[in-house]
Amino acid sequence: MRYTVDKNKAESAYMQLYEQMREDITGGLYPYGSRMPSKRTVAQETGVSVITVEHTYAILSDEGYIEPRERSGFYVIYRDADFFGSAGASASVASSSGNKMAGDRWKAPQNLTRGRSRTDEQMPYGVMARTMRRVLSFRGEKVLERSPSGGLPGLRSAIAAYLGRARGIRVLPEQIIIGSGSEYLYSLIVQVLGRDRIFALEDPSYEKIRRMYEVNGVHCEMLKMGPEGILSSELKRSKASVLHVTPYNSYPSGVTAAASKRREYINWATSRGGTIIEDDFDSEFTVSSKPEDTLFSLEPEQTVIYMNTFTQTIGPSVRIGYMILPLRITEVFREKVGFYSSTVPTFEQYVLTELIESGEFERHINRVRRNRRRWEHNGREEK
């Protein structure tokens, strides 16, 4: 074992351990089914407390890299491409660990559904009012100016900075495209990728996704979901070259794709020269102590178009979404649809920029996450 913890680093000890262990698991040092070092052993050799190691193992468990077995320890359940396309292997993984993991993962409150937002999870009205007044005072007549097609440079830079520090996603502002909600962005994606391609969707999934693609002239395949994500047998039979997935808390199933399933999606797209559309509408409100890993962060250069919206995190009336294009698609986007006018009013873009740059947006996210942890804790105590 070669784990070290640098106490002079700003990064917490449990996160340092998490990153080292995750690398060893995905790199094959701990293969599928192998037992992880005991918490006491790791604590003694790294000079940290057992509680710190417990925190690390809890995160690895939440994300589907390992699972606890009573009176036995923690075992690796992560698999990379070794079961891709094998229905039998996929079924065995689901039966041995998937159902338990799906049951253990946090489920959103029933009234928190896609396209709607709990009133106690919306940005406070007072914060919005103050921010709007500040924008009008300092921006003046600039709020009446036309926005560039991809969105205001200041907003794209603010989002890029936020994603880097809060989500571990590092991109150029030029890769970010602002649009008036997910539906508008879906139509842009179709125009960039082409209507002659088959799009595969999760079954079940948010009904509006399929309807938006079909109204744009796209043929959709529906791939059945299992407890860890789309079944491997479904991925294998699919003739699609575009895969639209919601890896975190997919609606309406509530399924969060395990770490090995996320890698499987990447391998699926890479093997057929395809594209993944990652619909990440809810993961910022995760109760985990670290942000959820995105597919985009696993393969940011070629394969994944990342999408998110502020409708869920701020309020349903905020019709502002964004997507991040992989570098290979950015030039194609400019050539095909770069002439489009921005569909988000300049004033609203300035307000969102101010919310992000002032720190109000992240404070709101953290507040909701704390509340969700409290709900989860109270729910467990009642059982």
- The H helix count followed by the E strand count for the chain is 15, 10
Dump pLDDT digits (tens) for 27-71: 888 988 999 999 999 999 899 999 999 989 988 887 778 989 988
pLDDT at residue 292 in the model: 73
Dump pLDDT digits (tens) for 82-106: 433 333 333 333 333 333 333 344 3
Write the single-letter amino acid at 255: V
Distance CA 314, CA 217 (A): 32
Question: What order of strands is seen across the sheet that includes strand 275-279?
Answer: 176-179, 321-324, 304-309, 275-279, 242-245, 199-203, 220-226, 229-230
Q: What is the pLDDT averaged over residues 334-345? A: 92
Structure tokens at 130: 């103050």
Peptide bond into 252 cis (omega under 30): yes
Q: What is the pLDDT averaged over residues 352-371? A: 90
How many other C-beta atoms lie within 10 A of the C-beta of residue 352? Answer: 26
Dump pLDDT digits (tens) for 182-225: 889 999 999 999 999 999 999 999 999 999 999 999 999 999 99
3-class SS of residue 273: coil
